[in-house]
Chain A
Amino acid sequence: MALGRAYSVALVGLNGYIVEVEADIGQTLPAFVLLGLPDASLNEARDRIRSAAQNSGIPLSRRKITANLIPASLPKRGSGFDLAIAMSVLRAAEDIRPTGRTVFIAELGLDGRLRPVRGILPAVMSAVQAGFQDIVVAQANAAEAELVPGARVRGYQTLARLVFDFGADPQELVLDFAPEDEPAGNEPVSVDASVPDMCDVSGQAEARRALEVAAAGAHHLLLTGPPGAGKTMLAERLPGLLPDLRDTEAMEVTAIHSLCQLPASGVQLVRRPPFENPHHTATAAAIIGGGSGLPRPGAASRAHRGILFLDEAPEYERRVLDALRQPLESGELVIHRSAGAAAYPARFQLVLAANPCPCGKASGKGIECTCTPFMRRRYMSRMSGPLLDRVDIQLQVDRVSLADFGQSGGAEDSATVGARVLAARARQLQRLQPWGMETNSQVPGRILRSELKLAAATTRILDHALERGVLTARGYDRVLRLAWTLADLGGREQPDGNDIGQALSLRQTASAAA
């Protein structure tokens, strides 16, 4: 009785589990049975594998083939198991030598070529963690798989080449078949890497400052203002101010992107913070993640370690906005669906933009505004208190004045501001390391009021405001956080009275929500 064995990886969210594929060839009429909770696309593997093997010159046994994916209880989906199943079946027929602890992750084309699959990076990471270092993937996935330290990756173009290396009889093999390049439709759309620059923004000194503070302390940001004030323009320039991702962060971000799209030909680590800008009609599943079977990451996870920008925030369904409260708190999203639960990281910086009212004209004197006070209140209240509560900077952006508009040029560019942000981040890291934190936005009020307590003289205006009831206790903490970031930007050891005053002004609209 012949038995073949090969390994692959099943992904549940970003966690991979080693899957052992056993194949048995029985002495009965031809059939191909696939066991171990395969989904529809995996069940189609049977016909793909038969054709691929046939066209590679190493046809499968004409007996009853039973392939079993272990552990059977783990739901498996997708086409990435094709290669492991094929190898185990070929081994069962003793067409190739044992594959040992090699992990195979690739889809098979009918012509016998190896096709790339999604999620290679997290899959290889899990395999290496589980002690499986030898990885065989499709050539198009090799660059991505090689990003994982410790992995010995081999990329192949065709099944024939692979089985040749595993000792198949070369006489029958179709080795000279070189698949043409992937069809043009599969080519990744080249994303323009250049992020818009701050020097395009004329005037708006206050908003520029707020953006810099948001970048430096990783503070969530709300921009309100009339249409045309430049809210979107400002928000789009925030990623350009953020420092590059560090190695571990870059791996996390690349892993999520690997799940969401087929690999670009030259995959490399995502080094820049991602920027996600969903449309306001997006559903909760689109933002949080979801889909049938095993849930897939949504915009919030794709914005991990980067920026989630919600333009026209009050136009979003309230349910969608409130669903963001959990990741804002924990930096992670756990989504449950029929086939199981998946956890995706979602530690993003939230940027909200909103019009002041449905007609958008209720800024300044607001003479042109046609909305009733009730409409205005209802509009802003669509962003719930608990959500806004987590947004440190809440800034009113007004239309740019004619004087500023004419003065084009002379504005600082992103590189200059980015350098200050980088220095401020370094200072925060140094101060906050004892508590395992990195940015001021993470510091809880308890620490702000004990270990990092400021002199009473400095916080006098704040204490005063608290006493008068203008500021809530929570609002008090947020002003302190912002003041620390302002001090870091200015290169001061501690916030002074000036920083506190500026911090207060960055929360103009906050008093209503706080």
Chain B
Amino acid sequence: MKAKDLLGRRGEELAAEYLESLGMLIVERNWRCPDGEIDIVALDGDSLVIAEVKTRRSLAYGHPFEAVGADKLARLHRLGSAWCRDHGLHLPLRRVDVIAVLDDGVRKPTVEHLKEVL
């Protein structure tokens, strides 16, 4: 596994812990379909949360949030629908969250969470 993938895994791990600490229920991680991947699928009360996790070592190439553009958000929204179809579920309350993890490997990683960006 490459270093960047390790970093990503570690970030997703942290993000999942964080969401659970908020009282969410993690339903599935790294769900894949031909259209792409959902990092975390979670339930927050009765709404389905499609979470995208972005992890960076530093801000040298911009903040993780800045790497999430409009097309990416649109795809996450589509993937959410695909996940529901795949699981035969009908969940009208759906939202997309973005989680940024900053982890330089020295200090304690920071986790930032933006709710309902779409």
Which residues of A approach B to under 8 Å, CB–CB?
A: 27-30, 62-63
Q: Binary interface profile of B, 90-101, with partner A (CB < 8 Å = 1, else 0)?
A: 000000001000
Q: How far is the CB of B76 from chain A (nearest CB, A)?
A: 12
B65 adjacent to A29 (CB under 8 Å)? yes
Q: What's the Cα separation between A27 and B66 when bound, in Å?
A: 13
A59: nearest residue on chain B (CB-CB)?
B59
Task: Please indicate the chain B residues that have their CB under 8 angstroms from the CB of A30 in the complex.
Answer: 63, 65-66
Q: What's the Cα separation between A62 and B65 when bound, in Å?
A: 8
Asked whether B117 is an interface residue with its Cβ less than 8 Å from the other chain, the reply is yes
In residues 79-118 of chain B, which contact A (Cβ within 8 Å)?
Answer: 98, 114-115, 117
Task: Please indicate the chain A residues that have their CB under 8 angstroms from the CB of B63 in the complex.
Answer: 30, 62
Task: Please indicate the chain B residues that have their CB under 8 angstroms from the CB of A63 in the complex.
Answer: 65
Task: Please indicate the chain A residues that have their CB under 8 angstroms from the CB of B68 in the complex.
Answer: 29
Please list 14 pairs of residues, one from A and one from B, whose beta carbons are closer than 8 Å in the complex, sorted by A's number.
A27-B114, A28-B114, A28-B117, A29-B65, A29-B66, A29-B73, A29-B98, A29-B117, A30-B65, A30-B66, A62-B63, A62-B65, A62-B66, A63-B65
Q: What 9 additional pairs, Cβ within 8 angstroms, besides A28-B114, A29-B73, A30-B63?
A: A27-B114, A27-B115, A28-B117, A29-B65, A29-B68, A29-B98, A30-B65, A62-B65, A62-B66
Q: What's the Cα separation between A62 and B102 when bound, in Å?
A: 13
Q: How far is the CB of B48 from chain A (nearest CB, A)?
A: 19
Interface of B is mostly: mixed
Task: Please indicate the chain B residues that have their CB under 8 angstroms from the CB of A27 in the complex.
Answer: 114-115
Q: What's the Cα separation between A29 and B98 when bound, in Å?
A: 8
Q: What's the Cα separation between A321 and B117 when bound, in Å?
A: 61
Interface centre among A27, A29, A63 (most CB of B within 10 A): A29
Q: How far is the CB of A54 from chain B (nearest CB, A)?
A: 10
Which residues of B approach A to under 8 Å, CB–CB?
A: 63, 65-66, 68, 73, 98, 114-115, 117
Q: How far is the CB of A323 from chain B (nearest CB, A)?
A: 50
Q: What's the Cα separation between A62 and B98 when bound, in Å?
A: 13
Q: What's the Cα separation between A27 and B115 when bound, in Å?
A: 8
Q: How far is the CB of B108 from chain A (nearest CB, A)?
A: 19
Q: What's the Cα separation between A28 and B95 when bound, in Å?
A: 13
B72: nearest residue on chain A (CB-CB)?
A29
B70: nearest residue on chain A (CB-CB)?
A29
Q: What's the Cα separation between A30 and B65 when bound, in Å?
A: 6
Q: What's the Cα separation between A27 and B65 when bound, in Å?
A: 11
Task: Please indicate the chain A residues that have their CB under 8 angstroms from the CB of B115 in the complex.
Answer: 27
A26: nearest residue on chain B (CB-CB)?
B114
Task: Please indicate the chain B residues that have their CB under 8 angstroms from the CB of A28 in the complex.
Answer: 114, 117
Q: How far is the CB of B77 from chain A (nearest CB, A)?
A: 14
Task: Please indicate the chain A residues that have their CB under 8 angstroms from the CB of B65 in the complex.
Answer: 29-30, 62-63
Q: What's the Cα separation between A62 and B115 when bound, in Å?
A: 15
6 shortest interchain CB distances as A-B pairs = A62-B63, A30-B66, A30-B65, A29-B117, A28-B117, A29-B65
Q: What's the Cα separation between A27 and B117 when bound, in Å?
A: 9
Q: How far is the CB of B102 from chain A (nearest CB, A)?
A: 11
Q: What's the Cα separation between A30 and B66 when bound, in Å?
A: 6
Q: How far is the CB of A333 from chain B (nearest CB, A)?
A: 47
Q: How far is the CB of A367 from chain B (nearest CB, A)?
A: 82
Q: How far is the CB of B114 from chain A (nearest CB, A)?
A: 6
Q: How far is the CB of A425 from chain B (nearest CB, A)?
A: 66
B100: nearest residue on chain A (CB-CB)?
A62
Interface centre among B66, B73, B114 (most CB of A within 10 A): B114
Q: What's the Cα separation between A30 and B100 when bound, in Å?
A: 12
Q: What's the Cα separation between A112 and B73 when bound, in Å?
A: 33
Q: How far is the CB of A73 from chain B (nearest CB, A)?
A: 29
Q: How far is the CB of A55 from chain B (nearest CB, A)?
A: 14
Q: What's the Cα separation between A358 and B112 when bound, in Å?
A: 80
Q: What's the Cα separation between A357 and B99 when bound, in Å?
A: 82
Task: Please indicate the chain A residues that have their CB under 8 angstroms from the CB of B114 in the complex.
Answer: 27-29
Q: What's the Cα separation between A63 and B114 when bound, in Å?
A: 9
Task: Please indicate the chain A residues that have their CB under 8 angstroms from the CB of B73 in the complex.
Answer: 29
Q: What's the Cα separation between A28 and B96 when bound, in Å?
A: 11
Task: Please indicate the chain B residues that have their CB under 8 angstroms from the CB of A62 in the complex.
Answer: 63, 65-66
Q: What's the Cα separation between A28 and B65 when bound, in Å?
A: 9
Q: What's the Cα separation between A62 and B66 when bound, in Å?
A: 8
Q: What's the Cα separation between A175 and B67 when bound, in Å?
A: 30
Q: How far is the CB of A172 from chain B (nearest CB, A)?
A: 13
Q: What's the Cα separation between A63 and B117 when bound, in Å?
A: 11
Q: What's the Cα separation between A62 and B73 when bound, in Å?
A: 17
Q: What's the Cα separation between A27 and B98 when bound, in Å?
A: 11
Q: What's the Cα separation between A28 and B66 when bound, in Å?
A: 11
Q: How far is the CB of A170 from chain B (nearest CB, A)?
A: 21
Q: What's the Cα separation between A62 and B61 when bound, in Å?
A: 13
Q: How far is the CB of A454 from chain B (nearest CB, A)?
A: 82
B63: nearest residue on chain A (CB-CB)?
A62
B69: nearest residue on chain A (CB-CB)?
A29
Q: What's the Cα separation between A27 and B97 when bound, in Å?
A: 11
Q: What's the Cα separation between A284 and B66 when bound, in Å?
A: 49
Q: How far is the CB of B96 from chain A (nearest CB, A)?
A: 10
